Amino acid sequence: MSSTPETLTIPADLDHVVFAGPSLSEAIDAVEQLTGVRATPGGKHPTGTANALIAFTVKGERVPHYLEVIGPDPDGELPASEIATFSIADRSAPAIATFAVHPADIEAAAAAAAEAGVSLGEILPLSRRTPDGTLLEWRLTRGENRDPNPAIPFLIDWGNTPHPGQSDIPTIELLGVRITSPEPEKVRSALAALGVEISVTEADEFSLTLVLEGANGVVELV
């Protein structure tokens, strides 16, 4: 874990943060308007979604962390109202939905969470097709029995797939992450079981805030 002078934290196992909305283009525009950095197309998922990506740097260095901007596939057949992924069907505007961590051993991490009373769901395969036609494949925790608390991350294992955060995509400096939750003790317990260090404070609603520095200076994406 690294920290900034403002005591914001960046978990060492952070994989990516999900910024989801009912319109992919509007979500991309929202991030660009705030940060001055435009996400580049990532690809299409078999779930009816598509994404765009911005890699994070930490102290100017590329790291295996990135921002995923996700929404309905503009060329797909499913409207936002029928896409359950990251609660897109329930969203009227884009916002940070949750985040992912990449443990060294996804099975062991899922088991540790279960022992702590937190179900992360099943470890299942997923994929996306990049604009150049390349198929990227990975495993992640998902499913109906996954704890719905968005402050509890899902797990991801890229296997032999190159990490998107270290590909040739636009970058922005990540200064830190913080979380609010109406269930702070539950979230802290789950994060501790996963070895994830993030500041969690109590609030009426969930929020995950990214403090970023880019073309528009220091900003907060929520």
Burial (0-12, 13-18, 19+ Cβ within 10 Å), 23: middle
* Vertex 167 angle, CA 165 and 171, to 5°: 60
> Which superfamily does CATH assign the domain made up of 13-172 to?
2,3-Dihydroxybiphenyl 1,2-Dioxygenase, domain 1 (3.10.180.10)
Tens place of pLDDT per residue across the chain (222 aa): 443 434 589 999 999 999 999 999 999 999 999 999 999 999 999 999 999 999 999 999 999 999 999 999 999 999 999 999 999 999 999 999 999 999 999 999 999 999 999 999 999 999 999 999 999 999 999 988 899 999 999 999 999 999 999 999 999 999 999 999 999 999 999 999 999 999 999 999 999 999 999 999 999 999
Contacting residues for 13 by C-beta, under 8 A, at least 6 apart: 101, 102, 103, 194, 195, 196
d(CA 31, CA 46): 24
